[in-house]
Structure 1
């Protein structure tokens, strides 16, 4: 008698279940400076790691819109859990750009392998027979300790102004140093990844330009053709917007209890709740639109520049809303046992990420806009 294979729920439905567990374990994860193992397992079981994995390896080749909504749902319960869910998903998207032989190695045990990404180009890579010898130290690599493989970026050959390459290295080839001691996002395990003269065979290497531009083959799914810069704001913006939604829920519950005790409405509080809700709704719609346009393959120059700008604006709105909400609670809002102060610290910390800052997006967008105007 054969068993019936387990039916996988849509990612958004699975994410709703992760949200509840993540919220329950959020304080413990923060105290331990690492996500609870059951939450990590739930993220993988929900399908985040496999979401963008090529179908030939058992993945879903899913949409950016579905991934974003699912990440935001998890973020309503715990920003750190959502951050890792997003990193795991998008690292699979990057690994799909590896040569076929390397993909077969990465997903030899199935599509649910956790991957990490260290894509700031640092370190050195020297060409040797059959591949490269890579060394370097990459900071703030979320989830590297739990990953089975990591993608790291470095100059090859070593030296300034040299072409950049992305190297796939298995967990046994890199070390993780415990360096993540932060005010916010404490459970993301964003520690330091170290390679010390590690040999990477040629078939586990691809040009960084492919990562930036996405797969060129029009037959590939949109999730693999999306340029990294176009979608980078989604990776880190959706956890923030999800966390802001959780803050709104917590602040609303607190104000409802306060109003019930007083027996009369608090007009200034109503105004602040309304403004915060509008800011969060606008941020979420903005990121959803970016994801949908990426899924449609809309990658003109102005569009590619607009997506990071829109993501940065969404994050600014979400951070402003959370700041508004934590202040609404007064002194009580900053108490250790209230979730909103943790969310406030998480969002404040996460919103400083290079990929979601307006200063990062502005040069490319302004240049594209000026070129369009000058035609």
Structure 2
């Protein structure tokens, strides 16, 4: 077992400049540039939620949101991969101890990709584990991962089907280059396939534990909260950084055009910067809410807290998309260049806003269900 290391802070600056420098190259390649990938371990995202007994930080959610946003100012695709490396390690912390040792005994900086929503593939129980076959879409960062989490539905001979998550080493998974989107082009969110691979029993857990959090009294606070409380924060944080980067690019273009004294330009600046700041406040409030909930015994956790976080993330991404839309429309023809960070941020933020976790309808329904509980009696 790795000796626990001091809880050093996340270091987004270790990757931010490289991410910005290679943002165009990452887009063209459809995955992060190799130099960016090589710099990711030093930034600390992969180890952020790894249990401390393996040398990880078991860190907090507010710190992660701010660090991901900082990377997103230079490249939203890199920020997306940073957020998911952290988030997937938190999922992997639900694995049995033996599997955790396989992932982290040598280093807490193991890169983990995942395709857990929706479940896919076919799984059959065999002595000592399962045989898994299937195809899963949108496995961000799978190409440079060490391990991959895949979800499937197990249909026991007796009883209800079970939503199961299994951990596979990268060598057992084939990555197909299918990712070709308008935004977040550098994330390498490709399709992965598995062909009749044996997965030992200890490399698996049921999804139900994600919905309740780890109930072990010795679990770190960040592992005791349910997935629904924090998932939307991981996905929204890259958009916050991209919007800040878009505002910087827009401001530079306004100076180049000599229009900084124009009243319309000043009104756009004031409104969009305020909307971005408001989105930041919403995300920081939600992240603080998650950090407080992590210190609460699981039995005392209020489902309304998760609904509030989903609501706040959905509203935040709507504010960010609206602000960047306005910036892009008023930036002039120079913003249309392939080399313009503004047009890339515009595409990336709209890609983030399309994610299922950030859709306004489901988040509104979840929040309203708590508010109108008594009305259903």
Fold match (TM-score > 0.5): yes
1:287 aligns with 2:283: yes
| Match among 294, 300, 304 for residue 302 of structure 2 | 300
Equivalent in the alignment of 2:248: 249
Equivalent in the alignment of 1:273: 269
1:237 aligns with 2:236: yes
Query: How far off its partner does 1:360 sit?
Result: 2.8
SS at match of 1:62: coil
Equivalent in the alignment of 2:356: 354
SS at match of 1:245: helix
SS at match of 1:273: helix
Going from structure 1 to structure 2, the CA distance change for 1:372 and 1:196 (only over 3 Å counts) comes to farther
Equivalent in the alignment of 1:96: 93
Unaligned runs of 5+ residues in structure 2 are none
Unaligned runs of 5+ residues in structure 1 are 1-5
SS at match of 1:116: strand
2:156 and 2:175 map into 1 onto residues whose CA distance is: 23
Q: Contact 1:125–1:158 (CA<8 Å) still a contact in 2?
A: no
Query: How far off its partner does 1:364 sit?
Result: 2.1
Going from structure 1 to structure 2, the CA distance change for 1:295 and 1:178 (only over 3 Å counts) comes to same
Equivalent in the alignment of 2:221: 222
| 1:316-362 CA distance string (max 9 Å, x none) | 11111111111111222212221100111111112101111112323
SS at match of 1:203: coil
SS at match of 1:110: coil
| 1:96-135 CA distance string (max 9 Å, x none) | 1100000001113210010011111112222111111122
| 1:153-172 CA distance string (max 9 Å, x none) | 11112799611111011111
After TM superposition, the runs of 4+ consecutive aligned structure 1 residues lying more than 4 A away are 6-9, 158-161, 372-375
1:291 and 1:91 map into 2 onto residues whose CA distance is: 17
1:292 and 1:372 map into 2 onto residues whose CA distance is: 28
Equivalent in the alignment of 2:373: 371
Greater shift, 104-113 or 77-86, is seen at 104-113
Q: Contact 2:120–2:151 (CA<8 Å) still a contact in 1?
A: yes
TM-score by length of 2: 0.92
Q: Contact 2:311–2:363 (CA<8 Å) still a contact in 1?
A: yes
Q: Contact 1:123–1:136 (CA<8 Å) still a contact in 2?
A: yes
| Match among 37, 45, 58 for residue 40 of structure 1 | 37
Aligned length, in residue pairs: 365
- Coordinate RMSD, CA, aligned: 2.0
Equivalent in the alignment of 1:50: 47
Alignment of 1:8-23 (within 5 A): 10-11=9-10, 14-23=11-20
Greater shift, 364-373 or 46-55, is seen at 364-373
Alignment of 1:1-375 (within 5 A): 10-11=9-10, 14-120=11-117, 121-157=119-155, 162-259=161-258, 265-297=261-293, 299-371=301-373
Q: Contact 2:14–2:42 (CA<8 Å) still a contact in 1?
A: no
